[in-house]
Structure 1
Amino acid sequence: MKKSTLLIIGAAGNNGVATIEALTRKHGDSVVVRAGVRTEAKARSLQARFPSIETVIMDLDQPATLGATFEGVDKLFLIIGNVENREQHAKHAIDAAVRAGTVKHVVFYSVFGAEYESILFGRQFRFGEKYLEASGLNWTHLRTIFFQENFLGWADGIKQGALYLGVREGRFAPLNIADIGEIAATILSTDGHEGKAYAITGPELLSGVEIATRFAAVTGKPVAYVSPDEATTLQSLLSTGWPAWQANGMLELFEVFASNQAAVVSPDGERLLGRPLTPLSAYLASNKPAFV
């Protein structure tokens, strides 16, 4: 029986790697994984880690070059990177999938609340969702929320005894990337997901104070919660190299959290995996050296 060929665009990023890990570990006998990346170095790195996969060099800024990338592809997991022209990248990839003529299903990586188009990130991803829906291809939207792994960017503050997170008293449910990868692998390797939009959150609603408490429990040191104002947060992000468009988009996201617009624990992830998702305390315990 011919194996299904799954193309992952954005394969070298954290979500792509997590998906490849889950696919090769759980479904390697039934699928061929093709990793789409931008550079030879990324291709070599992935091939060394996952010897059974195929790799292909591709560039979503050059749509005319995408034909070989999609040759013989049955399913696509489309992960658009952290670029300002996300809409254009989504359009180029979806157009290439249509031209290929073999793609039966596209799983589109998106963000929680994209359907409301209320913030920049939501509007960027919702464009891709709508473009895919209009393409004639079978589609599934995988809408994810703030990652537990993002807290690595706050590690310096944690080491100094404070969590600086501008979400005031709001609560949200941080999500583990390994869980996202396993969920994506499940959708790509099973049937019945066409025409569905899954909202994927972590398993527990947490406030800034509760997140700081979990850090303190794992590190064994006091961690205070501080919610800076928007100007301070913006300056902090810009000073660490964030482009202005992305930093301002993050401010919008923090306001969504601060006003409890994302204070939801979705059951979709647990239903798809048949198990509870990873709590923040478990992620922190596994990565304690990064925070002490």
Structure 2
Amino acid sequence: MAARNVIVTGATGRQGRAFVQELLNPSNTNGSTSLTYRVWAVTRDTASPAAARLSGVEKSHGNEIRVVQGDLSDVERLKQIFTEVAAEGGIFGIFVVLPYPGLGNNGGDEERQGKTLVDLAIEFKVEALVYSSTIPPGPDEDNGFDASRLAKREIELYCKSMSDKGLNWSIVQPGFFMENFDGWMGALAVPVLSQGLQKGTEMLLVASEDIGKVAAGIIQNHERYTHKTVTVAGGSYTMDEIKNAYKEVMGKTMPSVPAILAWLALKLSAGVQHVIKDTERVHQARVSGGYPTLDEEIELAKTACEMQDFRTWLIKRKEKQS
């Protein structure tokens, strides 16, 4: 059987790398072992170290990866890529991961990029499109979204509006990345979230590699997930639970900047304020029943990939550091 061609954007990021690794060297036994894949990894710089690492990803027999240059804002270049891939046996699937524009930035480019990829998927008769979005504060809410969340929401709605044109979409909504607690960003996130969130507010956390694995599982079994949304989360935690788990596993308190810096960020940064507001809204929607399908979407994601909880993720990080 000929290899199935699959395009992935954001290929050098955490989600994209995990998707590529899982598709080319699957650990998930839910997919058919008789299928092979040719992954077309789109990146702005094919000479970057991250792109070189992609080319060296371990592959099971028959699988293949090609790293291709492409800017997601360059519509003509994207069409060239789709044309090239289609000429080699058609395009089976695409995993759409778009770059985060940054806190407080305009989400216009993100929305245009997403809709362009949807249009190309329809034009080239792509069998399965998986879009990586985010968890909204309720199934129909859009008031108060930051620019990136609003852009993602618009792309989701656009995907759904194209169902009658033959678009076999699946939407992946990840929780708060566990990796956000790493490095300098984590040192700021800990006091910001501790001060900004109410004591009992729970955050849905996910290891970014699990997002890619879920997306790969959907591509491998796309009929099961067509026109469905899955929410990718390895557990729900308060900040106290997060800090306690970290101390128990790592043997020390979580790194944290001085409280005054977190206070200033909460007072002065609209982007940080949006993060706090939307986290509270997601929690309230979940506990109040305002998002009645959320738990069902979480369970559906688990059928595509086994999730890591926060403690398991910490243990793996500790083992890598030793």
Q: Pick closer, same or farther for the CA change 1:129–1:77 going to 2, 3 Å.
A: same
Give 2:171's aligned amino acid: H
CA displacement 1:33-57 (0-9 Å, x = unmatched): 1111111224333213357311111
SS of equivalent to 2:119 = helix
* Equivalent-residue separation in structure 1 for 2:255 and 2:70 (angstroms): 45
Deviation at 1:155, TM superposition (A): 7.0
TM-score, length-normalised on structure 2?
0.75
Q: Please, which runs of 5 or more residues in structure 2 have no aligned partner?
A: 27-32, 102-106, 287-293
TM-score, length-normalised on structure 1?
0.82
Deviation at 1:64, TM superposition (A): 1.3
User: For the Cα contact (< 8 Å) 2:115–2:155, is it kept in 1?
Assistant: yes
SS of equivalent to 1:192 = helix
* Equivalent-residue separation in structure 2 for 1:224 and 1:17 (angstroms): 27
Tell me whether 1:131 sits opposite 2:137 in the alignment.
no
Task: Provide the residue aligned with 2:290 in structure 1.
Answer: none
How big is the alpha-carbon RMSD for the aligned residues of Structure 1 and Structure 2?
Answer: 3.1
Q: Percent identity?
A: 22
Q: Pick closer, same or farther for the CA change 1:183–1:64 going to 2, 3 Å.
A: same
Deviation at 1:267, TM superposition (A): 1.8
Tell me whether 1:145 sits opposite 2:153 in the alignment.
no
Match among 232, 240, 251 for residue 273 of structure 2: 251
Task: Provide the residue aligned with 1:95 in structure 2.
Answer: 119
SS of equivalent to 1:61 = coil
* Equivalent-residue separation in structure 2 for 1:11 and 1:224 (angstroms): 30
Tell me whether 1:106 sits opposite 2:143 in the alignment.
no
Deviation at 1:91, TM superposition (A): 1.8
Deviation at 1:18, TM superposition (A): 0.8
CA displacement 1:170-225 (0-9 Å, x = unmatched): 1112111222121111101113211111122222x211111111111122224599
* Equivalent-residue separation in structure 2 for 1:248 and 1:34 (angstroms): 37
Task: Provide the residue aligned with 1:202 in structure 2.
Answer: 234
User: For the Cα contact (< 8 Å) 1:7–1:33, is it kept in 2?
Assistant: yes
Give 2:54's aligned amino acid: L
SS of equivalent to 1:107 = strand
Q: Please, which runs of 5 or more residues in structure 1 have no aligned partner?
A: 237-246
Deviates more, 1:74-83 or 1:64-73: 64-73
After TM superposition, the structure 1 = structure 2 runs for residues 1-292 of structure 1, keeping only pairs within 5 Å, are 1-26=1-26, 30-42=36-48, 43-50=51-58, 52-70=64-82, 71-72=85-86, 73-83=91-101, 84=107, 85-99=109-123, 101-113=124-136, 115=139, 116-118=141-143, 119-120=145-146, 121-135=148-162, 136=165, 137-153=167-183, 157=187, 163-165=191-193, 166-169=196-199, 170-190=201-221, 191-203=223-235, 205-222=236-253, 232-234=264-266, 248-258=270-280, 260-261=283-284, 266-273=298-305, 275=306, 277-288=307-318
* Equivalent-residue separation in structure 2 for 1:16 and 1:96 (angstroms): 19
SS of equivalent to 1:5 = strand
User: For the Cα contact (< 8 Å) 2:93–2:128, is it kept in 1?
Assistant: yes
Give 2:276's aligned amino acid: F
* Equivalent-residue separation in structure 1 for 2:19 and 2:186 (angstroms): 29
Give 2:174's aligned amino acid: T
User: For the Cα contact (< 8 Å) 2:132–2:172, is it kept in 1?
Assistant: yes
Deviates more, 1:140-149 or 1:36-45: 36-45
Q: Pick closer, same or farther for the CA change 1:28–1:62 going to 2, 3 Å.
A: farther
User: For the Cα contact (< 8 Å) 2:178–2:205, is it kept in 1?
Assistant: yes
* Equivalent-residue separation in structure 1 for 2:254 and 2:214 (angstroms): 32
* Equivalent-residue separation in structure 1 for 2:34 and 2:271 (angstroms): 37
User: For the Cα contact (< 8 Å) 2:8–2:40, is it kept in 1?
Assistant: yes
User: For the Cα contact (< 8 Å) 1:14–1:177, is it kept in 2?
Assistant: yes
Deviation at 1:282, TM superposition (A): 1.4
